[in-house]
Structure 1
Amino acid sequence: MARTVVIEKTGGPEVLQVVEREVGAPGPGEVRIRHAACGLNFIDVYQRTGLYPLTLPHALGMEAAGVIEAVGDGVTHLRPGDRAAYAAIPPGAYAEARVMPAAQVCPLPEGISFEDAASIMLQGMTVEYLFHRVWPLEKGQTVLFHAAAGGVGLLACQWARSEGIRLIGTAGTDEKCALAVENGADICLNYRSGDFVEEVKALTGGAGVDVVMDGVGQDTFERSLDCLKPLGMMISFGNASGPVPPVSLLTLAAKGSLKLTRTTLFTFLADHARCQAMARHLFDKVESGVVRPNIGRRYPLEQIAEAHRALEARATTGSTVITL
């Protein structure tokens, strides 16, 4: 039996339930993993509220780290006793242990703690694909990154610094802006005290940025298009403020032949070899010290509802870890 967080209906944090569930044995292509820690992400909120529908009842949680207890037939990259971490579908990481597909579970180097791994798998591999696979950024280019003091944002600031990329961030308080700069942002704009479009244009000599990376969604999307230089790329990868309304292709033409994509991490992770390569790239960054996990808060599994409330209120910085 393993304590597991499930929802039987969509709604607010109050629908999260901690129950005891049978774990069972792994089948072909599966592993059973005993978790030491798991991560908290906005996708968990989207699933809980029904924005990203699940067949209910369903367990929640998309990333965790721990020790492999058993492997099914055909699994060759992991063995019992191995340290491992993942960000993967299906949801179910808010649990003491689970059986899951093995392809997206990654061997974890000894030098990275379980808590650090649980805090960076989803967010760190998000940064990896944003910087290297959607629109590979080159040294000297400029990116506008919204929510730069959040879990993904702080890792993006560090990653940009390590690659020689100029990152202009946005955040909602001066304290969060200072944290983003401390982590590698060239500058961070407080969107509550100024017009980030005007400020971005001033910072780029009127040219605009090469790429916008936006996990906020509704509140920032339209103005973000005005921050791009002609032929620039708009990458929408989240909906923290709500989903983006429909967009006219003519708007993209009028604003300078802009490119637009709406990405999801799990499309990139679906391929086993690519998933393992992305994780290895992330682990290399962490082990070299150029990317440092930033755990802002820890909650025991029994306080999962409180953790969700803090995330939705934007009261967190860095990553939040759920301890088991």
Structure 2
Amino acid sequence: MHAIRLHAFGPADNLRHEEVEDPVPGPGQVRIKVAAAGVHLLDTAIREGLRGPLPELPALPTVPGREVAGTVDALGPDTDDSWLGKRVVAHLGFAPGGYAELAVTGTERLHEVPANLDFAQAVAMIGTGRTAMGIVQFAEPGPDDVVVIPAAAGGIGTLLVQYAKNAGATVVGLAGGPEKTARVQANGADLAVDYTESDWPEKVRAWLGGRPATIVFDGVGGDAARASVALLGPAGRHIVFGWSGAGLRDGSPYLVEGVSEEVLGPVMMRKAGGDNPVRTLELRALAEAAAGRLVPAVQRFPLAEAAAAHRALENRGTTGKVVLEP
């Protein structure tokens, strides 16, 4: 099979498209003929040699990627025969191996792909969708809310706009440049604003006519977060799930005591509760997509162009979930 391998931590050009041995599923595992593999901003940090939330960096050489969808083409010993030939999607957890034509994982991680979703959309929901469902647990919007969403053209932002609109909220989506703001508007935001323009907060205030924002869903940090929080009323909530605008290497979130709440991975899982909170959020995300209530935005790259996908993601040149297709 062909796969993307990383032999040394560093720039995107270190990602190499190579021929490697086919993986063999072990007991209780399946092998997936990959049709779509998700690319996450965390992947770019790991590629540089930054551990992030992982317990340790992967041993080199490694095949990056932790989200895959495709068709089960082989079973390991003691694996239920009914999985063979099924359309599935899985988050591989801390184990890499997604940027490849074939990937192996345990059956406990599998979900059947709803009939009305393609593989790229399923990948978007198993990772990005799961995160979006984790975020809204902390501030479920309703008809009385004004929701501000920085990076509203991104994978998570796209879903948060849709979710808030489905709940009846007034949604202000922020994005960089006219092309992205047009996408945000088309996605259903009541107001789409270019946050690269210095007077964007004044434009939002004028459009709201004195009505304060009540929720900011913030995965950006930095100046955009600071200005967004300033739009909140006295009882407003600032839900922080990342700070991509400040940089993954040495950034930090913008936090205001009594207003901001960090809801990164472990906090989301505790909130979801149950025996398997990760799976709870994955099931909710897939159900929302299957019902047509959430439609993920996807930007596709050929598997061989993984380096280009990483560069585009790092340079904010993408919209929606970035997916590699073998």
| Alignment TM-score > 0.5, same fold | yes
Shift of 1:214: 1.8
Unpaired segments of 5 or more residues in structure 2? none
Task: State the percentage of identical aligned residues.
Answer: 31
Note the C-alpha offset of 1:62. 2.6
Using the alignment, how far apart are the partners of 2:115 and 2:126 within structure 1? 15
Secondary structure of 1:232's match?
Answer: strand
C-alpha distance after superposition, 1:197-231 (max 9, x if no partner): 44444445556322222222334333333233334
Correspondence for 2:225: 221
SS of equivalent residue, structure 1 residue 140: coil
State the alpha-carbon separation in 1 of the partners of residues 159 and 148 from structure 2. 14
Report what 2:261 is aligned to: 260
Equivalent residue, structure 2, for 1:169: 173
Distance 2:92 2:242 in 1: 17
Structure-to-structure mapping, 1:239-318, within 5 angstroms? 239-241=243-245, 242-243=247-248, 252-253=256-257, 257-264=258-265, 268=269, 273-296=276-299, 298-318=300-320
Q: Secondary structure at the match of 1:280?
A: helix
Structure 1: gaps spanning 5 or more residues: none
Q: Does 1:236 align with 2:237?
A: no
Q: Secondary structure at the match of 1:103?
A: helix
- CA displacement at 1:313 relative to structure 2: 2.1
Given the alignment of the two structures, is residue 16 of structure 1 paired with residue 2 of structure 2, yes or no? Answer: no
Q: Which amino acid aligns with 1:178?
A: A
Partner amino acid for 1:309? R
Corresponding residue of 2:323: 321
When residues 23 and 102 of structure 1 are mapped into structure 2, their CA distance, relative to the original with a 3 A threshold, is farther
TM-score (norm 2): 0.83
- DSSP-derived class of the 2:189 partner: coil
Letter of the aligned partner of 2:295 in structure 1? Answer: R
CA distance in 2, matches of 1:99, 1:189: 43
Aligned 8 A contact 1:5 1:16 in 2 = yes
Separation in structure 1 between the aligned mates of residue 296 and residue 241 of structure 2, nearest angstrom: 21
Native 8 Å contact 2:68 2:90 kept in 1: yes
Alignment CA distance shift 1:13-1:99 (3 Å): same
Trace 1:201-220 onto structure 2 (pairs within 5 A). Answer: 201-206=205-210, 208-220=212-224
Q: Hey, what's the Cα distance between the residues in 1 that align with 2:211 and 2:267?
A: 33
Q: Name the stretch that deviates more: 34-43 or 213-222.
A: 213-222
Q: Tell me the residue number matched to 1:93.
A: 98
Give the Å deviation of 1:33: 1.9
**Secondary structure of the structure 2 residue equivalent to 1:315:** coil
Q: In structure 1, the residue corresponding to 2:192 is in which secondary structure?
A: strand
Contact 2:135 2:263 in 1 (8 A): no
Q: Is the 8 A contact 1:103 1:272 kept in 2?
A: no
Task: Confirm or deny: 8 A CA contact 1:214 1:221 kept in the other structure.
Answer: yes
Residue 104 of structure 1 pairs with residue 72 of structure 2 = no
Contact 2:159/2:296 (CA < 8 Å) preserved in 1?
Answer: yes
- Distance across 2 between alignment mates of 1:311 and 1:247: 20
Deviations 1:33-78 (A, max 9, x none): 2211112222221222234352331321132211223455787797
What is the CA-CA distance between 1:93 and the residue it aligns to? 1.2
Alignment partners' CA distance in 2, 1:84 and 1:161: 29
Instruction: Give 3-state SS (helix, strand or coil) of 2:222's partner.
Output: coil
Would you say how many aligned residue pairs link Structure 1 and Structure 2? 316
Matched AA of 1:113: D
Q: Equivalent residue for 2:87?
A: 83
SS at match of 1:177: helix
TM-score normalised by structure 1 residue count: 0.83
Task: Report the Cα distance in structure 1 between the residues aligned to 2:140 and 2:263, rounded to whole angstroms.
Answer: 16
In structure 1, what is the Cα distance between the partners aligned to 2:143 and 2:81? 34
Q: What's the CA shift string for 1:228-286, capped at 9, x where partnerless? A: 333433222233231475679xx734xxx213214138963997743344333333332
**Is 1:56 aligned with 2:63?**
no
- Say whether the 8 Å CA contact 1:68–1:78 is kept in structure 2: no
- 1:144-163: CA deviations, max 9, x gaps? 11111122222222222222
Counterparts of 1:8 and 1:307, CA distance in 2? 18
User: 2:244 aligns to what SS in structure 1?
Assistant: coil
In 1: Cα distance, 2:216 partner to 2:82 partner: 37
Against the structure 1 CA distance between its residues 82 and 247, is the aligned structure 2 distance closer, same or farther, given a 3 Å change threshold? closer
SS at match of 2:83: coil
In structure 2, distance between residues paired with 1:172 and 1:30: 43
RMSD (CA atoms): 3.1
> Which deviates the most, 180-189 or 103-112?
103-112
Compared CA separation, residues 87 and 195, structure 1 to 2 (3 A): farther
Aligned partner of 1:34 in structure 2 is 33
Q: Distance in 1 between matches of 2:156 and 2:9?
A: 25
